[in-house]
Amino acid sequence: MVQETDILILLEVNIDGASRGNPGLSAIGIIIKKNNTILKEHSEFLGIRTNNQAEYEALKKALEICTGLDNEMMLLSDSELLINQRNQKYRIRNQQLKTISREISILEKNFQTIQYRHIPREKNNKADKLANRALDDHIQEKNIQ
DSSP-derived secondary structure letter, 92: -
* Topology, domain 10-144: Nucleotidyltransferase; domain 5 (3.30.420)
| pTM listed for this prediction | 0.93
State yes or no: cis peptide before 120, omega within 30 of 0: no
Domain spans, the chain:
10-144
pLDDT tens digits along 97-108 = 999 999 999 999
Alpha-carbon 22 to chain mean position: 18
Query: 86-126 pLDDT, tens per residue?
Result: 999 999 999 999 999 999 999 999 999 999 999 999 999 99
